[in-house]
Amino acid sequence: MRVVLQRVSSASVQVDGQVVSEIGRGICALVGITVDDQEADLDYCARKLSNIRVFEDQDGAFWKKSVMDLDLEILCVSQFTLYANTFKGSKPDFHLAMKSTESRDMYELFLNKLRASYNPERIKDGVFGAMMQVSIVNEGPVTLTIDSRIRG
């Protein structure tokens, strides 16, 4: 599983010109699921995403607070393109991305794990499988990657 997170001032998702989800300050997480992901991958990424310290504390010291510490929001957006192979030719190859039916179930389980570990009202998401317009106001800019296959 791969999550690209951005610390944001705000973020939103539109489908067919309608805002379906939006957050204020927090994290926007682009979520990719690969063909061999298991529940342990979801657990790892959910834990890292909700606990990663990308915000400053009350004294302005950076890298001290998480979304949970500050009661901020997380907007998750499913994005199979995170597993695109671009090494050969000009056309991306998506064979490493989990197929839609399976990945929908895994993505929902991931959201449920996030909601169970934090305030469920603070976890938002887009529309799985839809053509979405994602607006992100990256704060910092801060952009990090969490990958369940690369653990320290």
List residues with catalytic annotation. Answer: 79-81
CA distance readout (Å), 119 to 2, 71, 94:
22, 8, 33
By the 10 Å C-beta count (0-12 exposed, 13-18 middle, 19+ buried), 83 is classed as buried
